[in-house]
A = this chain, B = another copy of it.
Amino acid sequence: MKDTDDKLTNRNIKPTAMRELVLDILTEQKMAISLSDLEQKFHKSDKVTLYRTLKTFEEKKLIHSIDDGTGAVKYALCKESCQCHPEDLHVHFFCLKCQHTFCLSDIPIPSINLPVNFSIENINMVVKGVCSSCND
């Protein structure tokens, strides 16, 4: 898995076996997953190690986190070029039927005119509704 390895080193993350496994799983996902989702993809695993792996990945901007209001933060891969600046961010969607959280990677978060003297560092925008698969 030289590719996985590179993705890690490119983000200044030491490529351990554990981290490669986690990155591979994250790469496979079509939707954002939570820590406990991730835990269940292993037969035997330690929640804390996975927790710290996700923290490291997020810190190094390999993944981003989504607070979708379900009580469990979800994670999804960032694009190669992503620096998680406000301009880089996209809208997320939580489907009330299938309970899945998706990146709407093509929909940038619209810019907001904040009141004077407010400065901005980050935005979390989650739309809730029914996804196309569930809208038959």
Contacts and interface: CB of A to CB of B under 8 A. Distances in A.
A121 B112 contact: no
Interface string A69-108: 1000000000000000000000101001000000010110
A120 B128 contact: yes
Contacts of A116: 132
Contacts of A121: 96, 128-130
Copies of this chain per assembly: 2
A59 interface: no
A127 interface: yes
Contact of A107 (B113, B123, B130): B113
Interface of A: 67, 69, 91, 93, 96, 104, 106-107, 110, 112-132, 135
